[in-house]
Structure formats: C-alpha cells, structure tokens
Amino acid sequence: STEEMLLEVKNLSKQFGGIKAVDNVNLQIRKGEIISVIGPNGAGKTTVFNLLTGIYKPDHGEIYFRGEAIHHLPPIEIVHKGIARTFQNIRLFHDMRVIENVLVGTHHRTKYTFLDSSLRTKRFRKEEDERVVQAIRLLQLLKLDHRRDEYAANLPYGDQRKVEIARAIATGAKLILLDEPAAGMNPQESLELMGFIRELRDMGYTILMIEHDMSVVMNISDRIYVIDHGKPIADGLPKEIANNKEVIEAYLGGL
Ligand code: ATP
C-alpha cells in the first residue's frame, strides 16, 4: 500500500512486577485501515492501548504517529496529536445529556487564551456552534440523533457504546482506538456497528480495535494482530489468521 504510515510501534514492552504484559509488540498501521488486535484474556491488549495513549510509559520500544515519536508524551498531548480511544468499561457522564457527552470530547480544542479578549467571546461562541453542529452530525451518523437530549444513563448499552465512540471522534483525532466496541451488543447492534466503522473509514478515519467477537473481527478487519501472554504470535489477513494453527491453539480453538 502507498498510503501514509500512520502508526508505527517498534518493540513495545511493558512489565508489571514479574508479568510481561506487553513483550516486544510491533504494529504498522496505514491511514484508512481497520486493524484488530485479538488474543486471550490477559494477553496484553488493553495494556497496548494504555501505552499508545500515554497512560503507561513503555519500558522499551518506540511509538511513532505520523513519523513523530509520541511514547514520551502525556495522554492529553497524544489526543492533540490525533489519537483517541474508548474504554472496555464505558465511561460516560451519566448525569449529562448525550450531546453534552459528545461535546466533552471537543473541550481540549479550546485555546481562547491566545485570543484578544474582545475577540474571545465571539470566537468562542462560533467555535462552540461549530462543535455542536459537528456533534449533531456524528449523532446522526450513529442513528442516535433522536436521543440527543436524553441523559446518557438512560440509554441502552449499545447506544452508550456509540456515544463513547462519538466522543472519541469529536476530539478531532484521526486514529480511533476502540476497546471491545461490540461487547454487550446484540447481533443487530453488532451489524450496525460494523457498518458504522466502515463509514468512519470511508470518512478518512483509521481504526484500531480490540475485539473478542470473531464475526465482527473477521468481517471488518483489513489485518489482524494476535498476541498471547504479551507476545505477538501472528499477524495477517483475516483468512490467514483464521487458518493459523498457532492462533487456533492459543485462542480461536477455545472460543
Ligand atoms: P482482556 O481481554 O481480559 O481485557 P487484555 O488482553 O486486555 O485482557 P491486559 O488487561 O492488557 O490484557 O493485561 C495483561 C496482563 O497485565 C495481565 O496479566 C494483567 O493482570 C496485567 N496488568 C495489566 N495492567 C496492570 C497493572 N496496572 N498492574 C499490574 N498488572 C497489570
């Protein structure tokens, strides 16, 4: 592929006490790809996300985003660079409305301190308006528009997951990390999720996701990375992974 290399991870390692949670993991992700990371419970998948988003610092290895080293940056600066995520356990503000939760994703973009005070209010309002318009568009795309003014706590689980994805996108990030997006979704919701992830790709986003639902993984991934006990054991096209003996033994056989 001639597409731009968006994320390059080299020899990434992280240890907790005696446990090598992530052990020499390499990733190469190009713009517009949908990539999955799979592996058994405790394989180190979420730790990879925590390293990519600056929550943990790697013991070894490097992370490059658009060719720039980011492994030393704090989480908020990594969001500024263009990487945002969702969490395995949904983290929404339950006493805020759906649209307000999406708008939370945009707040870090406000840089009003750089503006002259007379301009500040005007510019700020305009930016706010644009963000609201963008948030409404995202909710429309997610078919959540009719729930815009409901409290997040009152939404069904699948819809709460979508709000979390919308909030990640609202940050302005171009690489979206999804931690088990299909978890707790019924088959119909999973199908819609897959459609939505493809739409995101068509809009220019790049998706890296952790997912246990193999029908989702095999259906929408361009490539798949498999890790087990922190170690990379395979990577390739979905059909290569589905037929890989070591992957079947370590993971797929048990599903
Ligand atoms: P799952 O599919 O169950 O979510 P996972 O592949 O995401 O699992 P991780 O959550 O990354 O796996 O955990 C990898 C290993 O690192 C596990 O043994 C876990 O107990 C350990 N671990 C993760 N975070 C920490 C931490 N903050 N402190 C100590 N150990 C940790």
Kindly tell me if the per-residue pLDDT of 226 is higher than 70. Answer: yes
Q: How far is CA 109 from CA 134, 147, 219, in A?
A: 13, 25, 35
Kindly tell me if the per-residue pLDDT of 111 is higher than 60. Answer: no
> Which residues make Cβ contacts (< 8 Å) with residue 95, sequence separation at least 6?
151, 152, 153
Q: Give the H or E element holding residue 236.
A: strand 231-236
What whole-number distance in Å separates Cα of residue 102 and Cα of residue 165? 9
**13-46: pLDDT as tens digits:** 999 999 999 999 999 999 999 999 999 999 999 9
Q: For residue 59, how far is its CA from the centre of ligand 1 (angstroms)?
A: 15
Q: For 113-151, give the secondary structure using H, E and C.
A: HHCCHHHHHHHHHHHHHHHHHHHHHHHHHCCCHHHCCCE
**169-225: pLDDT as tens digits:** 999 999 999 999 999 888 998 998 999 999 999 999 999 999 999 999 999 999 999
Which atom from ligand 1 is nearest to the alpha carbon of 40? 2
**75-94: pLDDT as tens digits:** 999 999 999 999 887 788 88
Dihedral, CA atoms, 28, 77, 196, 49, nearest 10 degrees? 50
Kindly tell me if the per-residue pLDDT of 127 is higher than 80. Answer: no
**What is the percent of the chain with per-residue pLDDT over 90, rounded to a whole number?**
67
pTM of the model: 0.90
If you take atom 31 of ligand 1, which residue's CA is the nearest one? 16
Which atom from ligand 1 is nearest to the alpha carbon of 47? 11
If you take atom 1 of ligand 1, which residue's CA is the nearest one? 41
If you take atom 30 of ligand 1, which residue's CA is the nearest one? 16
Structure token digits, residue 94: 């339950």
Which is it for strands 68-69 and 60-65: parallel, antiparallel or unpaired?
antiparallel
Pocket lining: 45 vs ligand 1, CB cutoff 6 Å: yes
Which atom from ligand 1 is nearest to the alpha carbon of 88? 4
pLDDT of amino acid 112: 47
